[in-house]
Amino acid sequence: MDYLENQSRRNNLLIDGVPDSKSESWRDTETLTKKVLSDHLKIDSKLIEVVRAYRTGKYDQAGRPRSIVVKLLRYKDKQEILRRAKQKRHQHLHQRGLL
C-alpha cells in the first residue's frame, strides 16, 4: 500500500513563498504556478502539463503565504523543474559571493 501512495505522490511538487489572496481559486493557482515556472525558471509553460495545483491550509492575512501543491503529468517535468531550481539557487549564491 505504501508503494502505491508513493507512486501517486511521485509527480507532486511543493512550492513555497508565492504570494496568495483569500479569493484565489484553483484555476488562479494553476495559472500562477505556470507563471512562476516561466518567469523564475525560464520553463516554457506550454511544455509542462499541470494536472492540478492548489494551496494548502487556510488563508492567513497576517501570516506567510500558503504552499502550493502541484501535481504534474510527467515525472520528467518535475525533475527538470528541480534541476533548474537548483541551478538558479547555485548561480544566485555565486553572484552574491556566498560560494
CATH code of the domain in which 66 resides = 3.30.70.1820
Segment 30-51 mean pLDDT: 91
Give the residue numbers spanning the domain of 8: 2-95
- Kindly tell me the burial class for residue 48, based on how many C-beta atoms sit within 10 Å of its own C-beta (0-12, 13-18, 19 or more): buried
Share of the chain above pLDDT 90, in %: 55
How many Å apart are CA 19 and CA 95, to the nearest integer?
25
Number of domains within the chain:
1
pLDDT band at 95 (very low <50, low <70, confident <90, very high): low
Does 44 score more than 50 pLDDT? Answer: yes
CB atoms within 10 A of CB 77: 19
Global confidence as pTM: 0.82
Residue 98 is predicted with a pLDDT of 43
CA distances from 21 to 59, 73, 86 (A): 7, 26, 28
